[in-house]
Chains A and B, each alone.
Chain A
Amino acid sequence: MTDMTAHDTPYEASMGDYFALLKPRVMSLVIFTALVGLLVAPVPVHPFIGFVGVLCIAVGAGASGALNMWWDADIDAVMKRTAKRPIPSGRVQPGEALGIGMALSGFSVVLLALATNMLAAGLLAFTIFFYAVVYSMWLKRSTPHNIVIGGAAGAFPPMVGWAVATGSVSIESFLMFALIFMWTPPHFWALALFVKSDYGDAGVPMLTETHGRDTTRRHVIAYAVLLVPVAIGLGFTSIGGPIYLTVSVLLNLWFVKGAYDIWRRDDAAADADNYAVEKHVFKISLFYLFLHFGALLAEAALRPYGYGGW
């Protein structure tokens, strides 16, 4: 019997294949920012409730990743970067991804509502809806500004984390949202400039291809400058402080200088040094976000000892 089935046995998806549907690398950023949102909030949370809260946010983000892979399987199959994802490579059936995405969405939202509060659960539900429907189904294939508005989905986690602790939305959580929201476009477009993408083959409008690379360079500097007041402004709220403000001023100078360098040159110059500046600014952008949230965490950690905050 085994001889007969050895040839035509379909590939059996492993747990690892299902886990890959949840986009674990995106999830790690979501966990970090949600945790910071939760820990910097002025209301203490029981550690286990906090753990469940962050777990639900992470699972919710994973669920929206699975829904995105279900919807975008046709695009993913065309592009080199994504062709090895579980659905285009045939390891997971599209229906399975849809089922897992829907089930985990419901699970994470309901558990978050029961463990914490309705506002946090509502915000998580909206985040999943925003990423799966507004970004994946609607904007991604229709406008080159897809990354701008779609970035909102990645910006919600600290706001949800804050809502887990406080049960409310405030200027602090709004500015944490705005920080990631405004940071996403220059971060992504710096990458788009040096990565040879095949979005065009997949029919996805990207700014570099619809409006040209010079326009993209102008957009990088514009968003980097617009990001400055948001990042600095957060320093003057109740969760900011001298440490955050110092870190933020230095990082913003570094990032705007990098964006300026991107804007000042053209593709001929970039080709000559193999996109060194664009790659450098992309790296800065990673430090930028990590250190801003790290500084918020440092302020919160030092506050009990009389050092953090204003």
Chain B
Amino acid sequence: MAIHVEHEIHERRKGRNFGVLGLLLAFVGLVFALTVVKVLELGEAKKFETFDHVARPAIIPEEGDTQ
């Protein structure tokens, strides 16, 4: 007895399901590429480095430092 039962709806909706898969993959690729571009556009990483619940002396602006 076959463990996997193939319903006819699987065959009937195959094209549509692959279409949705393609769209989802494209969406993931889009968000990933957008993230890479946005982060690289920031230039200096220090600009978006910040405190994460812990004091980080390394990024405390020094006196006279305009940033």
Contact of B34 among A1, A12, A14, A52 (CB under 8 A): A52
Interface residues of A in 200-254 (CB under 8 A from B): none
| Total number of residue pairs linking A and B with CB closer than 8 Å | 25
Known contacts A15-B19, A46-B41; A9 and B33 CB within 8 A of each other: no
Chain B 1-27, CB within 8 Å of chain A: the 1/0 string?
A: 000000010001101100100000000
Contact of B8 among A1, A13, A52 (CB under 8 A): A1
Chain B 28-53, CB within 8 Å of chain A: the 1/0 string?
A: 00100110010001000000000000
Inter-chain contact A12/B13, CB cutoff 8 Å: yes
Inter-chain contact A2/B37, CB cutoff 8 Å: no
Inter-chain contact A14/B16, CB cutoff 8 Å: yes
Inter-chain contact A48/B8, CB cutoff 8 Å: no
A14→B14 CA distance, assembly (Å):
10
Inter-chain contact A14/B15, CB cutoff 8 Å: yes
* Contact residues in B for A13 (Cβ distance below 8 Å): 16
Inter-chain contact B16/A52, CB cutoff 8 Å: no
A115→B30 CA distance, assembly (Å):
10
* Contact residues in B for A9 (Cβ distance below 8 Å): 12
A49→B13 CA distance, assembly (Å):
34
Nearest Cβ distance between residue B51 and chain A, in whole angstroms?
Answer: 24
Which residue from chain B places its CB closest to the CB of A55 in the assembled complex? B30
Inter-chain contact A46/B12, CB cutoff 8 Å: no
Known contacts A1-B8, A46-B41; A115 and B15 CB within 8 A of each other: no
Inter-chain contact A48/B12, CB cutoff 8 Å: no
A53→B12 CA distance, assembly (Å):
35
A204→B30 CA distance, assembly (Å):
41
Which residue from chain B places its CB closest to the CB of A14 in the assembled complex? B15
A70→B13 CA distance, assembly (Å):
23
Nearest Cβ distance between residue B15 and chain A, in whole angstroms?
Answer: 6
Inter-chain contact A5/B8, CB cutoff 8 Å: yes
Known: A15-B19, A48-B34, A52-B30; 10 extra A-B contacts, CB below 8 A, are: A1-B8, A12-B13, A13-B16, A14-B15, A15-B16, A48-B33, A49-B37, A52-B34, A114-B34, A115-B34
- B interface with A by C-beta (< 8 Å): 8, 12-13, 15-16, 19, 30, 33-34, 37, 41
Query: Which are the 3 A-B pairs with shortest beta-carbon distances?
Result: A15-B19, A48-B37, A12-B12
- A interface with B by C-beta (< 8 Å): 1-2, 5, 9, 12-15, 46, 48-49, 52, 55, 114-115
